Amino acid sequence: MNPGAVIVARARSDRDERLLSADEPLAALQRACGGSIPGIVAIPQLLELVRKAGHYRMKLARVVHARDETNAISAWVEVSPDDEGCALAISNWRAAPLTGAEALGGDDDLAGVAAQCADLHARLDARQQVLAVSRAGASLEPVAAMMREASGRPWTDFVDVAGSSHRQPLHWRLLDGAEITCGEGPGRWVARLFPLGGDRGAVAGFDLYLVGIDAGPLPDPDGAKSIGDPADDPLDGVLGRDLAPALRQPIARIIANAETIRTRLAGPLADEYAGYAGDIAEAARLLQGLVEDLADLEAIEAPGFAPAPDRIDLADAARRAAGILGVRARERSIVVEVPGEGVEVPATGEYRRVLQVLLNLLGNALRYSPEGTTVRLEVKLRGKRASVTVADEGPGLTPEQQAKVFDKFERLGRGGDGGSGLGLYISRYLARAMQGDLTVTSAAGEGARFTLELPAA
């Protein structure tokens, strides 16, 4: 979703403060806060507002602040109570990437979770040198003993950071989430670093938690890492490991600020300047996509890359992809047809990679189809092959274009629309890595059909 875009959503709650229906993006936030629809309002400030309006029997209107995994969200919410519950009208929806300071102050929950399941907790100073080791499980006791012996040395002296030969310690953001092993011993851990605030916004030190990898997944503070992110793949690439995480936030801020200017939220502005701001946002989006794609490319081209095959449902993946891009489709008045709820097409592949391919295909279809058309997601099971096809009603591809559309950095002569020319290359690479394939059939003027084929399960 574009940061800064103004969206209006409506929702309804019943008398027990349960959300009965909600438009996007409120529905997504409700889920991100751990709620469901129908289900009790899970966004704390919104729940308070709905409760108050119901209790006071008055129309209330306030700013509601919340956060999902990556964004600080604020919205203007008007709540009108009636006999059945409350009607909610939401506008001025804004999602801004969390700044360092906000993330610094707001990760308490996550730190709490880490503390609960950590095998080792150490207090570090601002240079990541060990000050004290306050708790250790049996498996890490030898490491803890070494740290206590030689406190004052960087914590990275006592463990091995997987996949990194850099001089340690790196910047904490790069080490946060890194995989840790200890010498020859068995066991793998994830390092979580939580900065502690000091004077004048500087970092005074860190809480270091080593969480056993079998202890279950810890929510990742950087949601951008969820899809197609190489951070949890073993790779040595500088870009994926070091550069991409460092670039994401500044680029997101460029987009957010440029969008603010473009939409004239800071006051009226001559058209040409709003246009320039739009260009800046567009260029930054292109850069953002390129960074993600390059990081991804590096991950999948690294030696030893292999998707983890699993039994998945292609129809479910198709419905999920359509749900994720639903807002974008509605913005362009494009109808996305998905397989019905009961349909199931079992296949073998890695779910998040399949979803990544589908998001790429559907994203392209939404980008290049005329407004008001239909994009169909069709699933098929034929013998030992399962497939999902994304069919659009766009301009289609000539045979020459079809021949090179899967090439690296191929843009088919398009420019400035946010594409990097890597998406389809990566998608086909992924499809083939999962013993499947990605193909296209099209005639110019009749739309394109991209088909992802996988072994049936």
Q: Which residues bind another protein (CB under 8 A)?
A: 4, 6, 52-53, 56-63, 74, 76, 78, 91-92, 94, 96, 101, 197, 199-201, 256-257, 260-261, 263-268
Task: Give the pairing type, strands 335-337 and 346-349.
Answer: unpaired
Cα dist. 206→122, 125, 171, 176, 411 in Å? 8, 6, 12, 11, 45
- CB nearer to another protein: pick between 55 and 384: 55
The H or E element containing residue 379 is strand 374-382
Min dist. Cβ of residue 51 to another protein (A): 12
Report, in Å, the least distance between residue 16 CB and another protein.
21
At residue 424, the 3 state secondary structure works out as: helix
**Do residues 53 and 80 touch, judged by C-beta distance below 8 A?**
yes
Considering the complex, state which of residue 161 and residue 203 has its C-beta at the smaller distance from another protein. 203
Q: What is the closest distance, in whole angstroms, from the C-beta atom of residue 372 to another protein in the complex?
A: 23
Least distance from another protein to the Cβ atom of residue 41, Å: 18
Residue 159 CA to residue 143 CA, distance in Å, equals: 8
| Closer to another protein by Cβ: residue 85 or 169 | 85
Rank residues 186 and 201 by Cβ distance to another protein and give the closer one.
201
In the complex with another protein, the residue whose CB is nearer, 61 or 308, is: 61
Minimum Å distance from CB 268 to another protein?
5
Query: What distance in Å separates the CA atoms of residue 316 and residue 167, rounded to the nearest whole number?
Result: 44
Dihedrals phi, psi of 215, to nearest 5 degrees: -75, 0
CB atoms inside a 10 Å sphere around CB 354:
29
Six-digit token string for 123: 């207090």
- Give the distance, in angstroms, between the CA of residue 359 and the centroid of all CA atoms in the same chain: 12
Query: What is the smallest separation between the CB atom of 417 and another protein, expressed in angstroms?
Result: 25
Closer residue to another protein (CB): 133 or 261: 261
Radius of gyration of the chain (CA): 24
Cα–Cα distance for residue pair 82/90, rounded to 1 Å:
17
C-alpha span between 150 and 168 (Å, rounded): 17
Q: How far is CA 421 from the centre of its chain?
A: 20
3-class DSSP assignment, residue 129: strand
Residue placing its CB nearer to another protein in the complex, 48 or 160: 48
Smallest gap from residue 205 Cβ to another protein (A): 16
Q: Compute the distance between CA of residue 103 and CA of residue 225 in angstroms, rounded to an integer.
A: 16
C-beta closer to another protein: residue 79 or 430: 79
Minimum Å gap between C-beta 89 and another protein is: 9
